[in-house]
Amino acid sequence: MLITRASEYAILSLILLSSAKEPMDSETLSRELSIPKSFLAKILQALAKSGVLKSYKGAKGGFALDKETKDISMLAVMSCVEGKAPAVFECAPAEKSCPSEQANICSIWPFLHKLQGKIDSFLEELTLADIVEE
Amino acid sequence: MLITRASEYAILSLILLSSAKEPMDSETLSRELSIPKSFLAKILQALAKSGVLKSYKGAKGGFALDKETKDISMLAVMSCVEGKAPAVFECAPAEKSCPSEQANICSIWPFLHKLQGKIDSFLEELTLADIVEE
DNA sequence: CGAATCTAAAGCCATAATAGCCTCCTGATA
DNA sequence: TATCAGGAGGCTATTATGGCTTTAGATTCG
């Protein structure tokens, strides 16, 4: 899959968390954003694992940003939330000879690579700060 | 859903078609790209309906670009291939008061709008020509 | 210190949407 | 008219989404 609801929910959460002074628990985030609680919890856990968020257990626990907003790129968010690699466009017949295994290269590979590069750069440079700042 | 395989397959097909002089039939495209035939057929049909491709029936039929590569934006491709609107990020609690129905506006709406605008601009300006040209 | 409480973490299960498969129908070409 | 390829629909499998329960770590209070 490429970009799913998980990415959307992740970004919604990050926007809200960026203006919070205290950690917010998943239930509150779920309510504020009208996002299913259990699904959101998994997403927040993934963000915590990758270091975007920090989690706090116990009373008054929850999640808080663990980086500056300018250091949180959309690419990083999507990469960790979507199960798979940050890859968006893959060369379908890759298993055969596409990337570089053989001397002959799939004819569309260079173009895919170019497209992927453009998308990655865009998402890499687009940070939470770009969205949140006035 | 936001960006699915349909978009990926569409773009792969367009890249291949951009270098074809004759119309290519869905079976050939399917084989060249290792994409399931019937699924690809639906995608090509959608692209034809929206005017990106032109379809030819009968012997020696198939699909061919119906626009200059510089006039085919990734946004247009994804918009027509994905069932839904080109919207990527929606305000979840939109049903209540988010966009403009009420005087009070959902606190994250402006940020979402900003993000959506950035993504749309990027995909709008990114054309098939940008990918295919040397 | 220990118990009660709070919340993240992790698992399993149900549902909804997507991805993929197959068949018949329609229009065009030769 | 015979054949080729798109158009359209139904059906199945896979994946994403969402619901729920249990476990584990942390805090608060007695």
User: If contacts are CB pairs under 8 Å, which of residues 61-90 in chain A contact chain B?
Assistant: 88-90
**Of the ranges A57-61, A114-118, B97-101, which one carries the lowest mean pLDDT score?**
B97-101
Question: Residue A87: is it exposed, middle or buried by C-beta count within 10 angstroms (0-12/13-18/19+)?
Answer: middle
Asked if the Cβ–Cβ distance from B8 to A93 is below 8 Å, we say no
Question: Tokens 């969205």, residue?
Answer: A131
Instruction: Give the list of residues 6+ apart from residue B84 with CB closer than 8 angstroms, or none.
Output: B1
Give the mean pLDDT of B35-55.
Answer: 96
pLDDT at A103 (0 to 100): 44
- Give the separation between CA A92 and CA B133, rounded to whole angstroms: 21
Asked if the Cβ–Cβ distance from B126 to A107 is below 8 Å, we say no
- Find which nucleotide's C1' atom is closest to B30's CA: C20
pLDDT at B83 (0 to 100): 76
- Give the separation between CA B8 and CA B13, rounded to whole angstroms: 9
Residues A37-93: tens digit of each pLDDT: 999 999 999 999 999 999 999 999 999 999 999 999 999 999 999 976 556 787 765
Asked if the Cβ–Cβ distance from A111 to B131 is below 8 Å, we say yes
Structural tokens at position A101: 């295994």
Which residue ranges make up each domain of chain A?
5-132
Residue of B nearest to A14 (CA): B108
pLDDT at A106 (0 to 100): 75
pLDDT at A94 (0 to 100): 45
Quick check: A60 and A27 in contact, CB under 8 A? no
Q: Is the pLDDT of residue A101 over 80?
A: no
CA of residue A92 to C1' of nucleotide D3, angstroms: 31
CA of residue A22 to C1' of nucleotide C27, angstroms: 65
Is the domain covering A5-132 a CATH 3.50.50.60 domain?
A: no
Judged by a CB distance cut-off of 8 A, whether residue A102 touches chain B is: no
